[in-house]
């Protein structure tokens, strides 16, 4: 398994990602009903998105607390974030829903926020170094 020594920027970006996922997850899961009408997005969609974000927040938060991480874990976080951004844009372009102007602004704002955090994670990942093979097992503890 290929491990990296997480840079402070990567750990900070992952912590920010975890906090944003947790905050948005709680808002969407708890307030899907009141948000649905002004955004013109289905309650089930909003609540579902919120419920997906909560375990993601826990996992990303755990990653943020590690000084060494499997390289694939960082790739996975970045990849899922890119997928989230693409799906957010697809929601608007594919006509799956007909959000209000406020709904469009909401979708674009959260996609932009995810893009910024993802860019910080990419930069932090590039600043991270490889863990020496002899210390890989110890690093996971």
The C-alpha atoms of residue 72 and residue 14 are separated, in whole angstroms, by: 14
Domain residue ranges of the chain, discontinuous segments joined by +: 3-139
Q: Provide the whole-model pTM.
A: 0.90
Q: Helix, strand, or coil here: 94?
A: coil
138 or 115: whose pLDDT is higher? 115
Q: What is the biggest distance separating any 2 CA atoms in the chain, rounded to whole angstroms?
A: 56
| Each residue's pLDDT tens digit, 69-110 | 999 999 999 999 999 999 999 999 999 999 999 999 999 999
* Cβ atoms of 117 and 80 closer than 8 Å: no
């Amino acid at each position: 398994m290929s491990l990296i020594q997480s840079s402070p920027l990567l750990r900070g970006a992952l912590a920010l990602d975890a906090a944003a996922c947790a905050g948005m997850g709680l808002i969407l899961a708890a307030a899907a009903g009141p948000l649905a009408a002004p955004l013109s997005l289905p309650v089930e969609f909003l609540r579902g998105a919120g419920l997906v974000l909560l375990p993601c927040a826990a996992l990303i938060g755990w990653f943020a607390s590690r000084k060494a991480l499997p390289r694939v874990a960082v790739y996975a976080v970045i990849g899922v974030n890119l997928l989230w951004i693409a799906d957010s844009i697809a929601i608007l372009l594919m006509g799956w829903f007909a959000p209000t102007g406020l709904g469009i602004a909401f979708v674009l704002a959260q996609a932009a926020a995810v893009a910024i955090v993802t860019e910080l994670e990419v930069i932090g990942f590039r600043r991270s170094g490889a863990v020496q093979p002899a210390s890989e097992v110890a690093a996971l503890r």
